[in-house]
């Protein structure tokens, strides 16, 4: 489901998926974001989620009370269990991430395949590639983890 009415007023702070030294201040209501060095980051609480930058766009996922939300800049998509499909295809040395909701293609983005540089011997592709990581998640566990539970 494409989210048209955005209600979260406060910014959320999300860790970069592959560059630990960066944090993203993301404003769900506007889609505005600022990437900051972790050293500049104040004591604001980090939201459950990750983001990456691809070319001039920022992509990420964060937890909400309704479930995981995937965003691309100011566009947000609620990933309802069983209603979305994400996959990564390889074409001519590049990768393409595809999002479909209710069987309808929402967007595709082409990106460079991440290189295994400065990673430990135990890392595999889904550890260094945000989109591949996202496409290989078990939807039930993913939805449960990225759903904020009431503390009542």
Q: Write out the DSSP string of 96-136.
A: EEEEEETTEEEEEEEEEPPP--S--TT--HHHH-HHHHHHT
pLDDT the model gives residue 44: 74
Reported as a single tens digit per residue, the pLDDT across 81-126 is: 899 999 999 988 899 999 999 999 999 999 988 776 555 565 566 6
Reported as a single tens digit per residue, the pLDDT across 20-53 is: 899 999 998 888 899 999 888 777 789 999 999 9
d(CA 133, CA 122): 15
Residue 77 has pLDDT above 90, yes or no: yes
User: Which of 55, 71, 51, 81 is closest to 145 using CA atoms?
Assistant: 81
Residue 136 has pLDDT above 90, yes or no: no
pTM over 0.75: yes
């Amino acid at each position: 489901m494409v989210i048209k009415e955005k209600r979260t007023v406060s910014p959320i702070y999300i860790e970069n998926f592959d560059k630990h030294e960066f944090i993203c201040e993301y404003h769900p209501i506007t889609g505005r974001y600022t990437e900051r060095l972790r050293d500049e980051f104040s004591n604001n609480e980090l939201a459950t989620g990750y983001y990456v930058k691809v070319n001039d766009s920022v992509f990420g996922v964060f937890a909400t009370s309704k479930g995981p939300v995937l965003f691309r800049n100011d566009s947000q998509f609620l990933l309802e269990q069983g209603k979305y499909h994400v996959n990564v295809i390889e074409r001519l040395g590049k990768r393409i991430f595809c999002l479909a909701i209710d069987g309808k293609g929402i967007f595709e983005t082409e990106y460079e395949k991440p290189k295994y540089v400065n990673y430990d011997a135990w890392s595999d592709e889904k550890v260094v590639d945000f989109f591949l990581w996202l496409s290989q998640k078990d939807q039930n566990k993913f939805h449960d983890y990225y759903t904020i539970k009431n503390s009542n």
